[in-house]
Amino acid sequence: MAVNLPSLPPLKAIAGIQVGTTCAQIKPQDDLTLFELPSQSHCAAVFTRNRFCAAPVIIAKQHLAAATPRFLLINAGNANAGTGENGFVDALSCCEAVAQQTGCAINEVLPFSTGVIGARLPVDKISAAIPQAIAALKPDGWEKAAQAIMTTDTAPKGESIQTVIEGHPITVTGIVKGAGMIKPDMATMLAFIATDAAIENRVLQTCLTQAMENSFHRITIDGDTSTNDACVLVATGAAHNPLIDSPSHPGYNGLVTAVSQVCRQLAQNIVRDAEGATKFITISVEQGASQQECLEVAFTIAHSPLVKTAFFASDANWGRILAAVGRAKVDNLDIHPIQIYLGGVCIVENGGIAAHYTEEQGEQVMRETDIPIRVVLGRGDYQETVFTSDLSFDYIRINAEYRT
């Protein structure tokens, strides 16, 4: 059901990083992924802001603050969320199993879980499978990992690009999972991105934050954020470019651009593989008086079940888009200068349906699967774009049947 989701491209290895996957019997296929990071690497991360964040999120934050990670352990099928004290014990036990088998410290392991909320993590199964994951470690394990971290995703999602920074070839490779509960400030999303660039730890965090701003923070599927979202960016330094030690370093912009490009592709792929999606909708709000109001209008449209259902029906129901703009929380919004475009067709102007608009024009745009909406507010110079999907029978089916 994915909407023009690109098939998984070859994912280039990142010098120094090894990836292993195996089946821990939580799911019938590979469900456990282990990343081994070189000791000199740096690691930045952004986590969900949900107050009921899962135990592995809290443990991962603590470990990241205390040590430089040597391993990332990811299981699919069970989120270890809403599991209270048991959840912490279980997440730590899994880290401990990795530590015992590899000789690293417990806090050099970051745990990640995704899947059903509230069931206890099957620690025995995971611990028993860790030796297989270690045995499977190899530099080019990224494609298999993209597969093993999936839950309701219909296909693996990854991206790999190369660039040159100060004369040194640099690779950025990333994988992502997540197909529902997607919203700004993170979601049921796990993203693992790595580069061989040499960059200081603090600057790496700035780079990740900046790259997320126009990618993962600009997508929404159903407005729900999850308890487990995390996005990790690792830099190994193996490319031996001159160390990027500040955002004003000459190499910084090139790296941010490359990481942003990977994040944007991964974020859009999540929307293209949204639960039940049949349309990929790009909502641009232009000429706003602030970034904030552009985002408010864009997300109000993107979260409207009526707009999303109309797209599912390929119905150019511009009235629902207009109604969503009209209820967005924007101070003193004057509707008269507002223009709304569906594809290249102006559907709303002068406070109502555009004079020259015909149903045929709307229908023609709606026949596409990739559809842009442009809202021109006529109030200022700010512009923002968000990406979303439609709301279909299959969204309901997938989310109604998830646990059964």
| Interaction site with a second copy (CB under 8 A) | 49-53, 79, 81-87, 116-118, 180-181, 185, 222-227, 303-306, 309-310, 312-313, 315, 317-320, 322-327, 333, 335, 348, 350-353, 391-393, 395-397, 399-404
Residue with tokens 């690792």: 234
The type of residue at 215 is: S
Q: How far apart are CA 72 and CA 381, in angstroms?
A: 42
> Are 168 and 241 within 8 A, CB to CB?
yes
By beta-carbon proximity to a second copy, the closer residue of 49 and 240 is 49
CA within 13 Å, CB half, 183:
15
Instruction: Kindly name the residue from 21, 33, 171, 188 that is annotated as catalytic.
Output: 188
State in angstroms the smallest separation of the CB of 149 from a second copy. 19
Kindly state the tokens that stand for 71.
């391993």
By beta-carbon proximity to a second copy, the closer residue of 305 and 344 is 305
Is 68 tagged catalytic? no
The type of residue at 330 is: V
**Strand pairing report for 219-220 and 382-389:** parallel
Closest alpha carbon to 232 in 46, 3, 396, 34 = 46
State in angstroms the smallest separation of the CB of 236 from a second copy. 34
By beta-carbon proximity to a second copy, the closer residue of 166 and 185 is 185
State in angstroms the smallest separation of the CB of 385 from a second copy. 22
By beta-carbon proximity to a second copy, the closer residue of 39 and 292 is 292
Closest alpha carbon to 56 in 98, 27, 15 = 98
Kindly state the tokens that stand for 344.
């290249």
Residue 108 per-residue DSSP state: G
The type of residue at 183 is: K
Cα distances from 359 to residues 79, 336, 345, 362, 378, in angstroms, run 46, 22, 11, 5, 25
User: What spatial distance separates the first Cα and last Cα of the chain, rounded to whole Å?
Assistant: 21
Q: How far apart are CA 386 and CA 219, in angstroms?
A: 6
State in angstroms the smallest separation of the CB of 325 from a second copy. 7
Closest alpha carbon to 17 in 326, 279, 258, 233 = 233
By beta-carbon proximity to a second copy, the closer residue of 147 and 227 is 227
By beta-carbon proximity to a second copy, the closer residue of 9 and 393 is 393
Q: Which residues are catalytic?
A: 188
